[in-house]
Amino acid sequence: MTRKILIVDDDQKTRTLLKTYLERNQYQVLLSHNGESFLAELNTYADQLSLVILDVMLPDTDGFALCRIVRRRSNVPIIMLTASSDETDRVVGLELGADDYIAKPYSPRELLARIKAILRRTGADTHAAPRYYRFNGFTLDAVERTVTDSDGQLVPLTGLDFQLLKYFAEHPGDILDRGALCEETRGRDAGPLDRSLDVQISRLRLRLKDDGKQPMLIKTVRGVGYVFAAEVGVSHG
């Protein structure tokens, strides 16, 4: 079951960034730009939401008022976003029933970590990630953090290599841009002259015996990024 998150923030750039990033991480994202549109979405999807993210400062109301409304209707986890360094905002939000807060500016990676932590803590994360990913004779074990080939032999990978391969296996057939891949493996975007990702991709292809000139697993999409072309089967045990 896809986890659904409702976000209200009056900044369009922020909304777009969060939607793109969270959807890459397998969340369904609903967006609102003010209190009125948020309440309309809440009325429609209240029973389907896994989490709500409320910006404190909005053009027609504030996140505190919306937090009160949500709490009268639902126990859905709430994260408050605040641009204020004043501890009062944070205390008020928590007293009104918010589960966590995050101060601006923040990185999408930090917000994602908070989301995952809250969903684990509250038991709202009912989407259990698979343990095994199987493709082209390889088996990736997400718990043991190992990869074996068709003969059962371990494939020697660094921690970054494993993290990158796991991300590919989680998104087969999706065109993944360089920014998403660098954010996933390094916690930052790649600069225009940063070739470290390409070096890592080449090393990973070598470990998987994926011909660099005509790769069958990790294919280059010129000007965009890469795509994992294998069919992936998953299981929990």
Asked which of 7-11, 53-57, 129-133, 140-144 is least confident by mean pLDDT, the reply is: 129-133
Residue 127 belongs to some domain of the structure: no
Domain range for residue 211? 132-235
* Whether the model pTM is above 0.95: no
Give the C-alpha separation, 8 to 234, whole Å.
34
pLDDT score for 146: 94
Q: pLDDT for 32-75, tens place per residue?
A: 999 999 999 999 998 889 999 999 999 999 999 999 999 988 88
Q: How many independent structural domains does the chain possess? A: 2
Between strands 27-32 and 132-135, the pairing is unpaired
Domain boundary residue, one of 122, 155, 178: 122
35 inside domain:
yes
pLDDT-based confidence at 177, cuts 50/70/90? confident
Residues 10 and 54 both lie in one domain: yes
Judge if 176 and 82 occupy the same domain: no
User: CA-CA distance, 85 to 99, in Å (whole number)?
Assistant: 18
Q: What is the mean pLDDT of residues 178-199?
A: 69
- Say what percent of the chain tops pLDDT 70: 89
What per-residue confidence (pLDDT) applies to 105? 84
Domain of 165, CATH number, reads 1.10.10.10
The predicted pLDDT at position 149 comes to 96
Residue 235, pLDDT > 60, answer yes
Write the CATH number for 68.
Answer: 3.40.50.2300
The 3-state DSSP class for residue 158 equals coil
pLDDT band at 131 (very low <50, low <70, confident <90, very high): confident
pLDDT band at 179 (very low <50, low <70, confident <90, very high): confident
Look at 73-87, 105-119, 164-178 and tell me which has the smallest mean pLDDT: 73-87
- Stated as kind and residue range, the H or E segment containing 152 is none
Asked if 76 and 96 sit in the same domain, the reply is yes
Is residue 96 in some structural domain? yes
Q: Are residues 180 and 219 in the same domain?
A: yes
Cβ atoms 208, 138 nearer than 8 A: yes
In 3D space, the residue among 126, 235, 228 whose CA is nearest the CA of residue 180 turns out to be 228
Q: Helix (H, G, I), strand (E, B), or coil: what is residue 11?
A: coil
Same domain, 17 and 41: yes
**Bigger pLDDT: 148 or 145?**
148
175 and 98, same structural domain?
no
